[in-house]
Amino acid sequence: MALVEIDGLRKLYGDVVALSDISITVPSGSFYTLLGPSGCGKTTLLRTIAGFHNQNAGQIRVDGTSIEGLPAYRRDVGMVFQDYAIFPHLSVYDNVAFGLKQRKVPSAEIKSRVGEVLEVVQLGAFEQRMPHELSGGQQQRVGLARAIVIKPKVLLMDEPLSNLDARLRVDLRAELRRIQQDLGITTIYVTHDQEEALAMSDTVCVMYGGVIQQAASPLDIYLRPANRFVATFVGANNFLGVDQNGADLTLRASGADLSDLLSSAQRPVAITSAIRPEAMHVQAGEAAASADRVAIPASIKEVSFIGREMEVFAITKSGEILKSVDRPDPAIIGLTPGSPVTLTAPRNEIIFFEDSETGERLT
């Protein structure tokens, strides 16, 4: 258990900036997830913490002490690899015992600790198996056992579930979280799967282009995305153009007046509004706006019924494509492309961003 502080971290590969000015704090014992699209620098950050390469600038402190000068093999930071990295020439027991032997732990203690940790990951009966006799999920458990048996100060996991099939992924997700909470071990977890991130983490840290976009609780990330990128990447979002005319702020697609939602002092030159698909309700034909709902006339592009819910894509008069996720409605599912519909959404669920890729949230 340890507090991890990263301060002004910078990492270049040649002239490619992989990490620029990363500063985060991982509270002791928490589950901290780095979430972002492929290539955003998650692995680089994790490997820098593990000591596999040196940063160009910045500091990493564990419990207040800089680990700058420590080589990777003395950092006491456990790592679970994406491809498991189970030593194929060693049995499950010897894989798990590897780190303990390096630490010159007495052999009786090694035996009991390996036995215990294999129970924790539910591999008690597999001690003498060779890695090629294990399934992917079991290998991943060995990888986890091998990393936690040394009781590292920090546990790092780089997309540990990404090579497993969907159902196993969900099962193992819960198990990982349980083990982490039981041990109270400070964990930095990397994933590009937003669902995984939201379901497991105490804190989700969204990265993009080597820069931290937002670090907050899963709920905050979802409800109060810090910028347009986070709003798009975590959950889906509909972005709707707005027009500014003096003090007026209107929704381009319907002409609805939104001036009261964003004070004129908060308005930059280019603004966009966003509404979550699950906040959008679809009605056939025309419908009027109400005091607390905006109404956007549109025509059906595509309706897909996916069981629990239906997804409706509609085109507004101004040509924007909107997505709605709603309870299945036979009247809507039967509509053919081109049919007129109205999408309505609560006014208080409309949020505003500066109109650029990572434009800040304005409300």
Q: Which two tokens stand for residue 262?
A: 């964003």
**Which of 86-94, 124-132, 172-180, 330-338 is the region at the interface with other proteins (rule: CB under 8 A)?**
86-94
Please spell the DSSP secondary structure of 141-210, one letter per residue: HHHHHHHHTT--SEEEEESTTTTS-HHHHHHHHHHHHHHHHHHT-EEEEEES-HHHHHHH-SEEEEEETT
The answer to the question of residue 191 lying near ligand ADP (CB under 6 A) is no
> Which of ligand ADP, Mg ion, other proteins, none does 200 bind, CB closer than 5 to 8 A by kind?
none
The Cα–Cα gap between 110 and 351 comes to 56
Tell me how crowded residue 212 is: count the other CB atoms within 10 A of its CB. Answer: 22
Interface residue with other proteins, options 37, 39, 52, 124 (CB under 8 A) = 52
- What is the side-by-side order of every strand in the sheet holding 65-66? 16-26, 4-13, 57-62, 65-66
Give, as ranges, the residues between 135 and 164 that touch other proteins (CB under 8 A): 143, 146-147, 150
> Which of ligand ADP, Mg ion, other proteins, none does 109 bind, CB closer than 5 to 8 A by kind?
none
> Buried (b) or exposed (e) across 226-260, using 16+ Cβ within 10 A?
bbbbbbbbbbebbbbbbebeeeebbbbbbebebee
**Which of 11-19, 98-106, 225-233, 316-324 is the region at the interface with ligand ADP (rule: CB under 6 A)?**
11-19
Q: How far is the CB of 239 from other proteins (least distance, A)?
A: 39
The answer to the question of residue 58 lying near ligand ADP (CB under 6 A) is no
> Which of other proteins, ligand ADP, Mg ion, none does 44 bind, CB closer than 5 to 8 A by kind?
ligand ADP
The answer to the question of residue 81 lying near other proteins (CB under 8 A) is yes
Interface residue with ligand ADP, options 20, 30, 33, 44 (CB under 6 A) = 44
Q: 54 burial class (0-12, 13-18, 19+ CB within 10 angstroms)?
A: exposed
**Residue closer to other proteins, measured from CB, 104 or 167:** 104
**Residue closer to Mg ion, measured from CB, 55 or 237:** 55
The answer to the question of residue 141 lying near ligand ADP (CB under 6 A) is no
The Cα–Cα gap between 147 and 127 comes to 16
Name the site residues for other proteins (rule: CB under 8 A): 50, 52, 54-56, 68-69, 71-74, 76-79, 81-83, 85-89, 98-99, 102-103, 143, 146-147, 150
